[in-house]
Structure formats: C-alpha cells, structure tokens
Structure 1
Amino acid sequence: MLKTLERALRWSSGLMAAMALFSIMWLTVVDVTGRKFFSHSVPGGLELTEILMVIVIFGALPLVSWRGEHVVFDSLDAFTPDWLRNIQTRIVNLVSAAVFGFLARLMVMRAERFAEYGDTTVHLQLSIAPVAWMMAGFLLLTALVHLLFVFVAAPTPSHHMAPVAGERAAP
C-alpha cells in the first residue's frame, strides 16, 4: 500500500513540480533570448515565473515529507533510545500534520477572499484564486502524509548514508 501511495505522490505532485520547473527553464531561455536578440522580453514572464515557482515549492512539499528529505536536526539521535525516538517521530509528525492542516485552512480562506474580490495578476490579469486553491490542496496533502506517519512507520529514505564506525544508523 505504501508503494502505491508513493507512486501516486510521485505521479501527481512530483510530476507537477517537475513540469513547472521545466517550464520555468524554457520560459527563462525564451525571455533571455528575446531580450538579448530582439530587445523584448516575454510579456508577463515574471508573473508566470512566480506562479510556476509556487507550483514547484508547494508541489514538492508532499513528496519531500513522504521521502523524509526535509532538514533534520539529529545531533542527539546517538544518545536517544529507539523507543523514545519512535515516540518523538510520531509526535513530530502529529505536530507537522496539525501545522500543515492549519496552513491549508488559512490558504483556503485566502483563496475564497481572492475569488470573492476577483484578484488577478497585474500584467496578464490571471486569477490568483486557483493558485491559492492549489497551494491549499498541496498543504492538505502534506498534512495527510504526516498524519499517516503518526500511525504507520515512514518509509526509510534510500539516500541515507551508512553510519560511520561507532555510530548508530539513522531510523
């Protein structure tokens, strides 16, 4: 079941973030080429880049949480017993789920306000509400990932290095 969930995350949020990053790359190439050789940049290029960056950042959140690739302070792990580290991990995931859920709720409220006021980008007049809804969705998905890890052990990231002689392996 965890493999299926990982595949779903990779093909949804991961693919979306990768496509947005790829789009930023080509938008930048076209924009710089246009400025250098034709003295014209892409109209609304900055707005498009900002929206695509939001997709990259928020789209990667669920996958980063799933893979445990976030920043970790593990200086005391060598002195912490396994049973305590297990409890600590579950508490951290519970707090993370609550925080991401709260942020998702705030973003939903913001998206509703954007939609109500009809807020748009300055140059291209693109609606901002769908971007805020997407952010809320990714935040909620990240909260659900952390909530799952309160009850089910998180998959061990494959990129963790082997311990140095005399050190314990990371969980």
Structure 2
Amino acid sequence: MLASLERLLRWTTGLLAASALFAIMWLTVVDVTGRRFFSHSVPGGLELTEILMVVVIFGALPLVSWRSEHVVFDSLDAFLGERVKAVQARLVHLICAGTFALLGWLLHTRAQRFAEYGDTTVYLQWSIAPVAWLMAGLLLATALVHLLFVFVEAPAIERGGDAA
C-alpha cells in the first residue's frame, strides 16, 4: 500500500513540481534570448516565474515529507533509545500534520478572500485565487502524509551518494 501511495505522489505532486521547474527553465531561456537578441523580454515573465516557483515549492512538499528529507536536528539521537525515537518520530509527525493542516486551512480562507475581492496579478491580470487554492491543497496533502506516518512507520528510503 505504501508503495502505491508513493507512486501516486510521484506521478502527481512530483510530476507537477518537475513540470513547473522545466517550464521555469524554458521561460528563462526564452526571456534571456529575447532580451539579448530582440531587446524584448517575455511579457509577464516575472509573474509567471513567481507562480511556477510556488508550484515547485509547494508541489515538492508532500514528496519531501514522504521521503523524510527535511532538515533534521539529530544531535541527541545517539543518546536516545529506539523506543524513545519511535515515539518522538510519531509526535513530530503529529505536530507537522497539525501545522500543515492549519496552514492549508488558513491559505484556503485567504484564497476565498482573493476570489471574493477579485485579486489578480499586476501585469497579466490572472486571478490569484487558483494559485492559493493549489497551495492550500498541496499543504493538505503534506498534512495527510504526516498524519499517515503517525499511525504507520515511514518507509525506509535508500539514499545514494550521501557524503559522510
């Protein structure tokens, strides 16, 4: 079951983040080429880059959580027993699930306000609400990943190329 969930995350949030990063790369190439050779940049290029960066960052969050690739302070782990570490890990996942769920809810309410007020980007005049709803949904997905790991032990992920 966990393998299926990981595959689902890779093909949804992972592909979303990767596609946005790929789009940023090509947008930058086109923008720089246009500035250099045609003296024109891509109209709204900065806004597009900002939106795509949001997609990269928030799209990667569920996978980062799934693979436990967060920044970790583990100086005391050498002094803790395995049972204490297991309880600590579940407690941390519970706190993270609550925090991400709260942030997702707050962002959802903000997106509602954006939609009600008709807030748009400055240059392209695109609605901001769908981007905020996407961010809220991805935060909720991240919260669900952490909530799952409160009840089920996180899968061991093989890491290649770690420097010692």
Q: TM-score, normalised by structure 2?
A: 0.97
Partner of residue 128, structure 2: 128
Moved over 2 A (4+): none
Q: Deviations over 1:7-62 (max 9, x none)?
A: 00000000000000000000000000000000000000000000000000000000
CA 94–160 in structure 1, closer or farther in 2 if over 3 Å, else same:
farther
Partner of residue 98, structure 1: 98
CA 72–160 in structure 1, closer or farther in 2 if over 3 Å, else same:
farther
In the alignment, the residues of structure 2 paired with residue 158 and residue 48 of structure 1 have an alpha-carbon distance, to the nearest angstrom, of: 35
What is the CA-CA distance between 1:161 and the residue it aligns to?
7.8
Partner of residue 57, structure 1: 57
CA 161–39 in structure 1, closer or farther in 2 if over 3 Å, else same:
closer
In the alignment, the residues of structure 2 paired with residue 91 and residue 161 of structure 1 have an alpha-carbon distance, to the nearest angstrom, of: 29
SS in 2 for 1:98: helix
What is the CA-CA distance between 1:160 and the residue it aligns to?
7.1
Give the conservation status (yes or no) of the 8 Å contact 1:69–1:157: no
SS in 2 for 1:124: coil
Partner of residue 30, structure 2: 30
Partner of residue 147, structure 2: 147
In the alignment, the residues of structure 1 paired with residue 9 and residue 87 of structure 2 have an alpha-carbon distance, to the nearest angstrom, of: 26
SS in 2 for 1:119: coil
Root-mean-square deviation (CA, aligned residues, Å) is 1.3
In the alignment, the residues of structure 2 paired with residue 70 and residue 158 of structure 1 have an alpha-carbon distance, to the nearest angstrom, of: 15
Partner of residue 74, structure 2: 74
In the alignment, the residues of structure 1 paired with residue 116 and residue 128 of structure 2 have an alpha-carbon distance, to the nearest angstrom, of: 11
Read off the aligned partner of 1:23 and give its amino acid letter: A
Give runs of aligned pairs for residues 101-112 of structure 1, distance below 5 A. Answer: 101-112=101-112
In the alignment, the residues of structure 1 paired with residue 127 and residue 116 of structure 2 have an alpha-carbon distance, to the nearest angstrom, of: 11
Q: TM-score, normalised by structure 1?
A: 0.93
In the alignment, the residues of structure 1 paired with residue 160 and residue 28 of structure 2 have an alpha-carbon distance, to the nearest angstrom, of: 34
In the alignment, the residues of structure 1 paired with residue 158 and residue 103 of structure 2 have an alpha-carbon distance, to the nearest angstrom, of: 29
Stretches of structure 1 that go unaligned for 5 or more consecutive residues are: 165-171
Pairs aligned (count): 163
Partner of residue 168, structure 1: none
In the alignment, the residues of structure 2 paired with residue 102 and residue 42 of structure 1 have an alpha-carbon distance, to the nearest angstrom, of: 37
In the alignment, the residues of structure 1 paired with residue 161 and residue 38 of structure 2 have an alpha-carbon distance, to the nearest angstrom, of: 49
In the alignment, the residues of structure 2 paired with residue 46 and residue 39 of structure 1 have an alpha-carbon distance, to the nearest angstrom, of: 16
What is the CA-CA distance between 1:75 and the residue it aligns to?
1.1
